Amino acid sequence: MGRIIGIDYGTKRVGLAVTDPLRIIASPLETVSVHQLEAWIDKYMEAEEVDEFVIGYPVKVNNKPSESVKVIDPFIRKLRKRFPEKPVHLADERFTSRIASRAMIEGGLKRKKRQDKTIVDKVSAALILESWLEKEKNTKR
């Protein structure tokens, strides 16, 4: 069974997370610039078996897509075209940055580290992936 990559796609940076091979735990991995993302995915997939992608999809409180989808949708199309055999799942990413910040506070991270957006982005990606895994697990029951 291959890993699942979680992606928190932003306009400048992309937070990345990954599951363990058994798909039990989602862990923050890295934050890269949007321009480095394709090369990062290629390099990671050379080293690890990846079966699926989960991308945080921004929706408003009224469940309509937010303005950010204009940036994310082209990436999703490109990813699906590049890896047609690998499912690309969309996961609600509402409030993940806020939840990530709260989790870092509760985890005892110093203020300077919490203000580092690269840390927030990869923790957000892990939360998106964890949430999707939990939803999938509950669906299969």
For 65-86, the pLDDT digits (tens) are 777 889 999 999 999 999 999 9
Average pLDDT over residues 23-47: 96
Q: What percent of the chain has pLDDT over 90?
A: 58
Where in the chain are the domains? 3-139
Q: Which residues does 44 contact at the CB level (< 8 Å), separation at least 6?
A: 5, 18, 50
Q: 3-class DSSP state for residue 137? A: helix
Would you state the CATH architecture of domain 3-139? 2-Layer Sandwich (3.30)
pTM, two decimals, is 0.84
Instruction: Give the type of residue at 127.
Output: L
User: Following DSSP, what letter does each residue of 15-52 receive, concatenated?
Assistant: EEEEE-TTS--EEEEEEEEGGGHHHHHHHHHHHS-EEE
23 Rama sector, left if φ>0, alpha if ψ -120 to 50, beta otherwise: left
